[in-house]
Amino acid sequence: MSVVEWTRHRLTGTTDEPVSLRGAFRTIGVTSFVSVMLVATLFPLYWTVNTSFKPAPETQTFPPTFTPETFTISPYIDVLTGAGSSVLVNSVVVSVGATVLAMVIGVPAGYAYARNPGKVGGKHLAFWILSLRMFPPIAPILPLFFMFRQVGMIDTYPTMMLLYLTFNVPLVVWLMRSFFQDIPQAVEEAAIMDGYSRLEAFFKVSLPLVSPGVVTTTLLVWIFSWNEFQFALVFTRNAAQTYPVIIPALVGGHATLWNQVAALSVMAMIPIIIISLLMQKRLVRGLTLGAVKG
Amino acid sequence: MTTIELDTVRKEFGDDIVAVEDVSLTIEDGELVVLVGPSGSGKSTTLRMIAGLEAPTAGDILIDDLRVNDVQPQNRDIAMVFQSFALYPHRTVRGNISFPLEARDVPKTERADRVEEAAAMLDITELLDRKPANLSGGQQQRVALGRALVRDPQAFLMDEPLANLDAKLRKEMRTEVVRLQQNLGVTMVHVTHNQEEAMTMGDRVAVMNEGQIQQLAPPKEVYRRPANRFVAEFIGSPSMNLLSGSLADGTFRADSVDVSVRVPDDLADASTADPLTLGIRPESVQIVDSAGDYAFEATVDVVELMGNVQIVHIDLDGAEFLAEVDPDLVVEQGDSLLVRLPPEKIDLFDGVTAESPRIERAAEHGRSVDGPVAPEK
């Protein structure tokens, strides 16, 4: 029984056991701990939303106001009529493009590694791919910058999508590899014996079976691409600038526009929250896929 | 309609593993051939080469006299049932059975009819809308069979399909598979490591060991006249009794124990090797009342009552020797018995090559010519 289940069990009293004193203390302890953790994690979120609906002067008042005294949506309008709308569009284009590219390249690669262990690229290629994910992103930034500048590819969508492949492809390859490993080869062979080509067997049997894994991986890759800051800061100027770069620009200058920072942050969070909620069931299935044998 | 022929087929994995060594085998139309052998004997690899899932390193595979080495498995029109059943977990039973029909672009209405027909044949109509995860092992097995037979393939390949079932279900399905095969009159190759399954199911049995066919013959022949010591020991439960010794003046004398048997003339004439191994099935061993006629005295070690028979373990100077006797015979541990080995029931094997001297006789009955047969002149 999980802590949550246990607590619910205790609180709703759906048990014939007498509630012991020790049990009661435990309930209080668990509830208090969970409450403190909830406040600690949700308060920044709440404060961001709160700030995003305040006029600029109210963000500086002391003591701070826990709800906007003057409720306004002007920070949103200001952000969207300023640089905000284009950076959000850029973020969508770059992150979606980078995600699709990474999945198109990484899923078949992961499949190849799962089905031909030790054969594809010899013993070391798979680990080399993973090692790309491990080194600090700041390390290759300068050489990459000079390379891209040489071919005139600074501040373009394809540049950002290609750069994000560096970190996304290893993640996709390794996650998908383990998802495909959990699909018995016999199931694919059965499809081949049933009259399908290897490729058809892949699309009709293997891929549907790893779909929770595909959803999870897509989401992880997309969130990385959506939030990435360092590459975006160095490789974009204007045309391909993504939202994480613009936020620091709102801080400093004449004044720090905390309400606009908050409004942009809220807008950046919304897609992630919506998609995660919609995909919650599949996401959890994907994350635990293979953890427990059916 | 469908014959399957393997012509000196060889399969190597890597540089030093020979999984299948020059196997030649012809499976006639409508015949059920069982490939049986211990794990690693090459039986599954042989089956997978017929399926096309493995490519032979050398040799030819012919289906209906057509060389299929380069034909993709999906184009060989052969159905296969896997040990793990390999059902598609994301499809219903109906979806599983109709999957091979979809590959052949069978029209939707005909597809539905044929699925219903196959389901009725296997008594799984009420399961059609369930997912495989909600089926028992036996039901999954039936679905796997349904998926194989719905498309009316040229031949069936069965890769240990009964191994994952419990004992009772295994016997039921065994009968059912044979019944289906006979009703459909289809060519079938069945792989198993279970010698009982091989004996009961096959029109012919190919006993495999170390990548080679040791003997290919009808079950009765494999049992009665094993081509070599391996077959003698592998087929039959409990195993055949073996005694090493030598032949002199038409009498076999065991080496380490005081056992001798008068060998029938034809067998004695054929057995020129020295040393020799005598083999006799436990059910052929007789317990007699009077001495003489080569009967010998032995002590009972253990008695196991199986219901219809009892198995008496006899201590022959450390070597174990089994006799299957009438359950009503009163024997206890420590008893002294008079044991007789009826000459007409014994087999002799070359003590070195382990071959039976009845080679010519075996060859007449379809014994693989590429097996380790070396007639000694």
As a whole number of angstroms, the distance between CA B86 and CA A113 comes to 21
Residues of B in contact with A193 (CB under 8 A): 51, 53, 73-74, 78-80
Residues of A in contact with B79 (CB under 8 A): 193-194
Average pLDDT over residues B346-358: 83
Asked whether residue B94 falls in the same domain as residue B199, the answer is yes
A with B: how many residue pairs have Cβ under 8 Å apart? 58
Residue among A194, A208, A209 whose CB faces B103 most closely: A194
Residue among B80, B83, B87 whose CB faces A193 most closely: B80
Cα end-to-end span (Å), chain B: 41
Q: Which amino acid is it at A73?
A: I
Q: What angle do CA B52, B54, B59 make, to 5 degrees?
A: 85
Q: Is residue B308 part of a domain?
A: yes
Q: Is residue B370 part of a domain?
A: no
Which of A115, A179, A189, A193 to probe the B interface (max B CBs under 10 A)? Answer: A193
Name the stretches of chain A with pLDDT < 70.
1-19, 252-253, 286-294
Instruction: Give the distance from residue A168's alpha carbon to the nearest chain B alpha carbon, in angstroms.
Output: 28
Q: What's the pLDDT score for residue A1?
A: 57
Nearest C-alpha in B relative to A186: B86
Asked whether residue B183 falls in the same domain as residue B46, the answer is yes
Q: Is residue B34 part of a domain?
A: yes
Q: Which amino acid is it at B87?
A: L
Asked whether residue B216 falls in the same domain as residue B306, the answer is no
Q: What's the pLDDT score for residue B265?
A: 85
Q: Is residue B232 part of a domain?
A: no
Percent of chain B clearing pLDDT 70 (strictly above): 94
Of these ranges, B4-8, B160-164, B294-298, B372-376, the one predicted with the greatest mean pLDDT is: B4-8
**CB–CB of A193 and B73 under 8 A?**
yes
**CB–CB of B100 and A194 under 8 A?**
yes
As a whole number of angstroms, the distance between CA B302 and CA B338 comes to 16
Asked whether residue B82 falls in the same domain as residue B156, the answer is yes
Q: What's the pLDDT score for residue B282?
A: 93
Asked whether residue B36 falls in the same domain as residue B143, the answer is yes
Residue among A187, A193, A195 whose CB faces B104 most closely: A195
Residue B365: pLDDT band by 50, 70, 90 thresholds? very low
Nearest C-alpha in B relative to A195: B74
As a whole number of angstroms, the distance between CA B254 and CA B261 comes to 9
Residues 6+ apart with CB under 8 A from A252: none
As a whole number of angstroms, the distance between CA A122 and CA B117 comes to 49
Model confidence, pTM: 0.80
* pLDDT digit string, tens, across residues B55-70: 999 999 999 999 999 9
Asked whether residue B243 falls in the same domain as residue B200, the answer is no
Look at strands B78-81 and B251-254 and give their pairing: unpaired
Check whether B375 has a pLDDT greater than 50: no
Residues of A in contact with B86 (CB under 8 A): 184, 186-187, 189-190
Instruction: Give the distance from residue B101's alpha carbon to the nearest chain A alpha carbon, in angstroms.
Output: 8
Nearest to B285 by CA among B294, B276, B272: B294
Nearest C-alpha in B relative to A193: B74
Helix (H) or strand (E) holding B159: strand B155-159
Q: Is A215 helix (H, G, I), strand (E, B) or coil?
A: helix
Residue among B73, B74, B90 whose CB faces A208 most closely: B90
Please give the mean pLDDT across all residues of chain A: 86
Q: Is residue B376 part of a domain?
A: no
**Residue B151 belongs to a domain with what CATH number?**
3.40.50.300
Residues of B in contact with A192 (CB under 8 A): 53, 73-74
Instruction: Look at the block and give the residue holding tokens 């209906």.
Output: B64
DSSP conformation letters of B305-316: E-SS-EEEEEEE
Q: Is B337 helix (H, G, I), strand (E, B) or coil?
A: strand
Tell me if chain A has a CB within 8 Å of the CB of B55.
no
Instruction: Look at the block and give the residue holding tokens 């007409």.
Output: B344
Q: What's the pLDDT score for residue B250?
A: 85
Residues of A in contact with B103 (CB under 8 A): 194-196, 200
Residues 6+ apart with CB under 8 A from A44: none
Q: What's the pLDDT score for residue B269?
A: 81
As a whole number of angstroms, the distance between CA B150 and CA A28 comes to 62
Residues of A in contact with B88 (CB under 8 A): 187, 190-191, 205, 209
Class of domain A76-288: mainly alpha
Average pLDDT over residues B128-132: 93
As a whole number of angstroms, the distance between CA B115 and CA B150 comes to 7
Nearest to B167 by CA among B135, B138, B189, B198: B138
Residues of A in contact with B51 (CB under 8 A): 193
Q: Is residue B368 part of a domain?
A: no
**Residue B291 belongs to a domain with what CATH number?**
2.40.50.140
DSSP conformation letters of B5-73: EEEEEEEEETTTEEEEEEEEEEE-TT-EEEEE-STTSSHHHHHHHHHTSS--SEEEEEETTEE-TTS-G
Asked whether residue B161 falls in the same domain as residue B293, the answer is no
* Structure tokens belonging to residue B100: 């091979």
Q: What's the pLDDT score for residue A223?
A: 92
* pLDDT digit string, tens, across residues B233-244: 999 888 999 988
Residues 6+ apart with CB under 8 A from A224: A164, A167, A168, A171
Instruction: Give the distance from residue A82's alpha carbon to the nearest chain B alpha carbon, in angstroms.
Output: 49
Q: CB of B206 within 8 A of CB of B217?
A: no
Give the rounded distance of the alpha carbon of A66 from its chain centre.
29
Domain tally, chain B: 2
Q: Residue B355: phi, psi to the nearest 5? A: -80, 150
Nearest C-alpha in A relative to B91: A205
Residue B14: pLDDT band by 50, 70, 90 thresholds? confident
- Last residue of one domain, picked from the residues B224, B250, B273: B224
Q: B362 or B354: which carries more pLDDT confidence?
A: B354
Q: What's the pLDDT score for residue A231?
A: 92
Residue range(s) defining the domain that contains residue B326:
238-356
Asked whether residue B131 falls in the same domain as residue B10, the answer is yes
Asked whether residue B102 falls in the same domain as residue B158, the answer is yes
Instruction: Give the distance from residue B81's alpha carbon to the nearest chain A alpha carbon, in angstroms.
Output: 8
Residues of A in contact with B13 (CB under 8 A): none
Nearest C-alpha in B relative to A212: B90
Give the rounded distance of the alpha carbon of B25 from its chain centre.
15
Q: Which residues of A touch B (CB under 8 A)?
A: 184, 186-187, 189-197, 200, 205, 208-209, 294
**CB–CB of A186 and B82 under 8 A?**
yes
Nearest to B339 by CA among B349, B329, B328, B347: B329
**CB–CB of A190 and B88 under 8 A?**
yes
Asked whether residue B52 falls in the same domain as residue B141, the answer is yes
Asked whether residue B219 falls in the same domain as residue B242, the answer is no
Q: Is residue B364 part of a domain?
A: no
Q: Is residue B136 part of a domain?
A: yes
Which of B48, B53, B147, B158 to probe the A interface (max A CBs under 10 A)? Answer: B53
* pLDDT digit string, tens, across residues B167-182: 888 898 899 899 999 9
**CB–CB of A194 and B147 under 8 A?**
yes
Look at strands B66-67 and B58-63 and give their pairing: antiparallel
Average pLDDT over residues B138-161: 92
Q: What's the pLDDT score for residue B373?
A: 38
Tell me if chain A has a CB within 8 Å of the CB of B78.
yes
Q: What's the pLDDT score for residue B376?
A: 35
Tell me if chain A has a CB within 8 Å of the CB of B149.
no
Asked whether residue B251 falls in the same domain as residue B197, the answer is no
As a whole number of angstroms, the distance between CA B205 and CA B35 comes to 6
Tell me if chain A has a CB within 8 Å of the CB of B50.
no
What does the DSSP 8-state code read for residue A240?
T
Q: What's the pLDDT score for residue A16?
A: 53
